[in-house]
């Protein structure tokens, strides 16, 4: 009795794995487009905000001392707000730069992935993913370490001073870090799945012979 190795045909990976990634990149490109538009229009809107508090509320020259003191408090509040808005412009510029880069990389990868060009399509997708993670870490770091979550308002001793805002900012930072880690872990797992499902089958991927014994010949 002798056995002959039965030929095994390698099944081609489904093209819809790469096409699904192309659809995902299309959705992300739309998101990047909105990020670019927002980053371009926001500074224009911020520039329209008056710097001088007098343009919002006239100084009460003939007002009572209480009205004058209240106006001075409001002016300090407004100055802090404007300084904070001005500090956001640098972060917004980086947001636009990242958005443009990610938009064009994603846009280029869509037809390549849809056509089934695995190697180039996945290289572009991986590049997109790496830049996307870097952009999130960079922008969040700028927001919390350079700019701040909101202006440095001091609510006085009765309002907790700056302790309550600092606590809220610390909690928000932890939440943002956790969100970045969670979301990008899911994206990485999705990309790893695409890599696995679209790789070229080899003899190491052949199902075990225990599932399909070789035919016997008398």
pLDDT in single tens digits along all 218 residues of the chain: 454 555 555 677 788 999 999 999 999 999 999 999 999 998 888 888 888 888 888 888 877 888 888 888 888 888 888 888 888 888 899 999 999 999 999 999 999 999 989 999 999 999 999 999 999 999 988 888 877 777 776 665 555 556 666 777 778 888 888 888 999 999 999 999 999 888 876 655 555 554 454 555 54
Q: How many residues comprise the chain?
A: 218
Nearest to 151 by CA among 91, 199, 88: 88
Query: 144 near 169, Cβ under 8 Å?
Result: yes
Q: How far apart are CA 115 and CA 139, in angstroms?
A: 34
Which secondary-structure segment (H or E) carries 101?
helix 65-114
pLDDT for residue 43: 87
Q: How far apart are CA 96 and CA 33, in angstroms?
A: 9
Sequence spans of domains, the chain: 14-54+64-200
pLDDT for residue 96: 95
Report the predicted TM-score, pTM, of the whole model to 2 decimal places: 0.79
pLDDT for residue 10: 61
pLDDT for residue 165: 67
Torsion of CA 145, 150, 155, 157, to 10 degrees: -20
pLDDT for residue 146: 78
């Amino acid at each position: 009795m002798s056995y002959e190795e039965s030929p095994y045909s390698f099944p081609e990976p489904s093209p819809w794995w790469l096409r699904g990634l192309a659809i995902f990149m299309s959705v992300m490109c739309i998101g990047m487009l909105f990020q670019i538009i927002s980053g371009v229009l926001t500074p224009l809107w911020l520039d329209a905000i008056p710097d001088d508090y007098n343009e919002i509320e006239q100084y009460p020259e003939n007002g009572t001392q209480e009205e004058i003191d209240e106006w001075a408090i409001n002016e300090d509040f407004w100055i802090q707000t404007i300084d904070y808005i001005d500090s956001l412009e640098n972060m917004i510029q980086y947001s636009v730069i990242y958005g443009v880069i990610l938009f064009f990389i994603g846009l280029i990868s869509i037809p390549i992935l849809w056509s089934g060009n695995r190697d180039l399509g996945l290289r572009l997708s991986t590049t997109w993913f790496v830049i996307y993670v870097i952009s999130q870490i960079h922008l969040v770091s700028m927001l919390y370490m350079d700019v701040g979550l909101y202006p440095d308002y001091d609510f006085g001793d009765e309002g907790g001073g700056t302790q309550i805002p600092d606590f809220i900012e610390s909690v928000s930072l932890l939440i943002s870090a956790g969100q970045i880690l969670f979301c990008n872990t899911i994206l990485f797992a999705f990309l790893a799945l695409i890599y696995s499902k679209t790789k070229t089958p080899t003899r190491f991927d052949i199902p075990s012979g225990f599932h399909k014994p070789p035919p016997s010949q008398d």
